[in-house]
Structure 1
Amino acid sequence: MKDGHVHTAFCPHGSNDTMDDYLQRALQLGYTEITFAEHAPLPESFIDPTPLKDSAMRFDDLNAYFETIAEAKKRYEGKIKINAGFEIDFIEGYENATINFLNKFGSFIDDALLSVHFLKNNAGTYDCLDYSPDYFGEMIKSYGSVEKVHQHYYQTVMKSILADLGPYKPKRIGHMTLANKFRLKYPISNECTNEIIEILEKVSALGYELDYNGAGTAKPLCREPYPPEWVISEAKKRHIRLVYGSDAHQAKELGQGLEFMTIKK
């Protein structure tokens, strides 16, 4: 069993659990493979819109991150396959910075995801889509409706899929329905079905994968995986490979949503 989306203590908004804590828990759960997909450092000129500026790891921690994973690979050789990786943020307008980062560090990456967390708004600044329910509520006011926030998110996801980010561009799209994180507080009447189907068609045509993300099942205002069942069904029709990811930010979160997904399958 593979978990293709795990965060570590190198994530500023994660926990202090050690890599051994994660790996021991992974072995307890019967994992045979795990990808540490830390939030890659944001472009240096990008201003993190979150209040604590803690959306991603620091450039200064990259060497320690790779060294820690390399040491873990040696200690756990023969027990579990460990992948060094990143969750790369697609930030509209910062494509060149992303290409430069991937070209510099791509050869060290075993596995990776491409995700959208930040939306470029009409003022030319950026909003963090999944920061908090209150922040999302302010976005609804600014964008005009909850539907418009969702539409803008899916449009940005499509841009990430179409973007030329060089030879090391990740080919797995992270939590493609992240806009649903606060859906129980901010329900929508139009689920952006057309936009989602268009994304699936493009993912299929390019041979990309989807992150089958369990984190949403643990979020009190979501309670469903990213993507939900109907999207998973449409993805399977198009022969899109889905890779389970716990999106754990603590060792105890490994495996979250897995039981739900197994039952639904």
Structure 2
Amino acid sequence: MNFSGDFHVHTPFCQHGTEDKMEDYINQAIERGLTYLTFTEHAPLPNGFSDPAPGKDSSMPADAVETYLQEARRLKKKYRDKLVIQVGFEVDFIEGFEKETRMLLEKWGPLIDDAILSVHMLRSPEGRFFCLDYSAREFSSIVSVFGSVDAVYATYYRTLRQAIETDLGLFKPKRLGHITLVEKFRQAFPPSRKFDREISEILELVAGKGMELDINTAGLYKEHCQSIYPSESFIRKAAELAIPLVPGSDSHQANHIARGFQRLPELPYRLPGGVKR
């Protein structure tokens, strides 16, 4: 890689992660020879939206945001001679809550360095919401509600298109997260057809909007996936489209920093737009 950084990292403020301290992640990054580290904790869910995950643990509580940002600022200063640290959010795009998400971004956007826009929540034809990547058991329930695995995949890629195309204001994240997350349980719940056309169309939209792409190694370590999000062929297609490729481990514990980066294809990866060299 032409530089060394991990730009998709969670923290102890993540309710479904470990209790490893932010400083633990930083020390791991330094130990592994990284130059850059970006914390992208799950942003609070928009007002009026009820977390559909069985554990109600999808995001950071709204009352924890100030503490999260203060701790990040403290660590930036402490480690400024050893590591370039950025702080931001992974923001959920939720169909029907665009206005509320825009308001959330307007509130916190001026105080962060970077952000990722992801789809974790799907709305069923009946209007119920489900957390896509919670567990294989939950995914089985989602398939039952949607009627088929293919219907879940189609809804996911349609929602991802909406995320790209929707105006979320000045502080809309410029990077699209793990675009093939729907494949997390693909070996246990395989679709009946390939969704290559939908993924290619997503990449064309990302390129057209001037967005960045999260090249996410977490899927390599998921029992029913074992692939980068997206797969190598689509990473190469993104590179051909001149989409900035930004690597992220999606770490939810400190010892996962930069995990799997040695398995990324040899391509020119980039810094997120807001990071200074």
RMSD (Å), alpha carbons: 1.3
Aligned equivalents of 1:205 and 1:52: distance in 2? 37
Q: Contact 1:176 / 1:227 at 8 angstroms: preserved in 2?
A: yes
Equivalent position to 2:59, from 25, 45, 56: 56
Task: Describe how 1:67-78 pairs up with structure 2 within 5 A.
Answer: 67-78=70-81
1:126 and 2:132 matched: no
Amino acid at match of 1:109: I
Equivalent position to 1:141, from 138, 141, 144: 144
Equivalent position to 1:250, from 250, 253, 261: 253
- Structure 1 residue 204 displacement after superposition: 0.6
Equivalent position to 1:228, from 231, 239, 252: 231
Aligned equivalents of 1:123 and 1:87: distance in 2? 27
Q: Contact 1:246 / 1:253 at 8 angstroms: preserved in 2?
A: yes
Task: Describe how 1:172-251 pairs up with structure 2 within 5 A.
Answer: 172-251=175-254
* Structure 1 residues 125-183: Cα deviation after superposition (integer angstroms, max 9, x where no partner): 10111011011111112212111111110000000000100000001000000001011
- Structure 1 residue 189 displacement after superposition: 3.4
TM-score by length of 1: 0.97
- Structure 1 residue 263 displacement after superposition: 7.1
Corresponding pairs, count: 265
* Structure 1 residues 179-203: Cα deviation after superposition (integer angstroms, max 9, x where no partner): 0101111112322111111111111
TM-score by length of 2: 0.93
Q: What SS does the aligned partner of 1:112 have? A: strand
Aligned equivalents of 1:82 and 1:182: distance in 2? 33
Aligned equivalents of 1:194 and 1:244: distance in 2? 23
Gaps of 5+ in 2: 269-277
Q: Contact 2:232 / 2:265 at 8 angstroms: preserved in 1?
A: no
Q: Contact 1:215 / 1:226 at 8 angstroms: preserved in 2?
A: yes
1:34 and 2:24 matched: no
Q: Contact 1:115 / 1:174 at 8 angstroms: preserved in 2?
A: yes
Q: What SS does the aligned partner of 1:259 have? A: helix
- Structure 1 residue 262 displacement after superposition: 4.8
Aligned equivalents of 1:148 and 1:83: distance in 2? 37
Change (3 A) 1:238 1:133: same
Aligned equivalents of 1:230 and 1:106: distance in 2? 33
Aligned equivalents of 2:229 and 2:194: distance in 1? 14
* Structure 1 residues 37-64: Cα deviation after superposition (integer angstroms, max 9, x where no partner): 0000001311111112100000110110
Amino acid at match of 1:243: V
Query: 1:260: which partner in 2?
Result: 263
Query: 1:105: which partner in 2?
Result: 108
* Structure 1 residues 100-148: Cα deviation after superposition (integer angstroms, max 9, x where no partner): 1111111111011000000011111101110110111111122121111
Runs of 4+ in 1 over 2 A off after TM superposition: 262-265
Aligned equivalents of 1:125 and 1:244: distance in 2? 33
